[in-house]
Structure 1
Amino acid sequence: MPSDKETLLSMGFDPARVEWAVKATGGRGLQPAMDHILENEGNPVPDLSSVSSSSSGSNTQPMDVDEDDEDMDTLRALTGKAGAATSSGAAEEAKSIKCTDCGKIFKNTALANFHAEKSGHDQFEESTEEVKPLTEEERVQKLADLRAKLAEKRSHKAEEEAKEHMANETIRRKSGKEMNQFKEDLKVKQALKEAEQKKKDKIEDARAKAAIKAQIEADKKARAEKFAREKAIRDGQPIPDSSASASTAPRPAAAAAPSGVAGKDFKETRLQIRMASGGQPYTTTLPSDATLREVAEFLAGQTLAVDVETVSFAQHFPRKTFSREDLSRTLKDLGLTPSAVLIAS
């Protein structure tokens, strides 16, 4: 078979440009050399001594392997001399090779073999039909068509790559946006969790301080009662009953201080009611003439955990537990004016 250089020369290309293309493409084949010639037809031929296969600057690629049989037939036909018959005697008898499966005729075995690989046909026979050579006008037109087709394929490939790049960029941006949103949601949840924990810690601190304060008051009262008992023993007087003195302490105090706070006529009493089981305290303001039962009814209206008939009230300071009979007494009589803190259980 003729070399790539001979084939290009037979197609009518300038010998200097053929030499340039073969050297620039490094002898990689007929198609790269022809692509080089077509792409550089408007450029002057450089000094071939400075040309190497790596400095050609050609970005051409071989034509896709999937081009159809007619394109390959045309390309081979343009060479004019490819795959000549091995003997002049055989050329006179068999001028072509015919595919009996589809009826196509080929000028030489190389084209027939290529057709067999592409189509899968395997039935061929010699034929006396002669493949007419292309005229100069047909050759030029076929070259232009091949060049246009090659440009179209490259353009289509560039469009596909651009679409793929755009799709990948869209996916990347969407993933980044979702990741940022996830991080923001995580920060919000963490902030809410920390705020809730601070709130719980604050409540626990308040309870602890209240418990400490109550314990201090209880210790003070215990020391006062102990001092009173010891004084009574020293003076030879009866030992006072601590429970009795605690239950009657508010009333004597009010009577003993007519000009103090306990002796004033307060029309309203402000109460803070705490549950023995813990939780948020309840506050209310009632007339001083209201009974302790009305306090129980108020508390029952705030929480289902309280029953008016079973609830009991107590004070930490002064330490006192109110009986069921105290429910009918007024807040003023119980010494709870103008304000008091009750423990409900």
Structure 2
Amino acid sequence: MAGDKETLLGMGFDPARVEWALKATGNRGLQPAMDHIFEHDGQPVPDLSGVAESKGGSSAPMDVDDDDDDVEALKGLGVVKGAVAGSSSGADAEAKSIKCSLCGKVFKNTALANYHAEKSGHDQFEESTEEIKPLTEEEKKQKLEELKAKLAEKRSRKAEEEALDFKANENIRRKQGKDLSKLRDEIKEKEILKEAEAKKREKIEEAKARAAVKAQIEADKKARAEKAAREKALREGKAFPDAGPATPAPAAKPAQPGPSKDYKETRIQIRFASGGSPITNTLPSDSPLRGVAELVAAQGPDIDVDSVQLTQAFPRKTFASADFSKSLKELGLTPSAALTASW
């Protein structure tokens, strides 16, 4: 009906939903249309050409002659009683409405009674002489306000539910973000530890390799020194201790330094770590080692005696500054020795 449509549009409902509600309820009135809008809120509006109109006729005031068939059908089902409510005899009274025997609501036609039966499940109705008067303008306004209040309350509840859903989803998203960030940090930390362990192992392997190379170099140096000392001893006609079976017993070695007292002079050969030709000189066996350092310092004006360092190749020994005051005899350098000088 035009009046119901204008009322619904005036309440702010979407025109397409209003058309859908009116067609779906068969234009049975404002309340059915409102119920339809509320029940299908949030659902997309279908193509109205495919929407079947609800049976039940219009919402116009009930005409007894036009609705006799509907009333008789309800009577046959035992839904509407034969007696008219409010009449003593029930014979001459004119039925102007249909009343629900269970809740007492009065409907002006069978269409609205059927709609009420579908929604409430009530199945006991009776004819009534009570005439449903049209709403006054004041009643229409009051009804409109009530409907608006219901609509606002429903929208408010929906907004609150959406806000709660949004908050819950946001909390889930934040938790997932924190968990993901924590997982990334743990993976990064594990990678750092793994890299540190790899570097540590690499350093250990490098240290082992350097130690092996250094040990080989030292072994080569020692072998060369032993070879040179052996060759020198052979040239000078002295016995050189050997690692073979003919090696003298260690107990006899302490007696060897004894004859060195007879050597009055010591032949010193000095090699230079910086290169150049070695020098050879003969010094008294009682001369201090400092005399050898002075020979080295005499080789250049920029050489300081106190900065000279003397090293014996075999057996390997580096003389400290405290040894400079000791004699060549005390240091076991007689009757000859080869020293390397650096500064």
Under TM normalisation by the shorter chain, which class is it? 0.3 to 0.5
Q: TM-score, normalised by structure 2?
A: 0.46
Q: Tell me the TM-score normalised to structure 1 length.
A: 0.46
Please tell me whether Structure 1 or Structure 2 has the larger radius of gyration of its CA atoms.
2
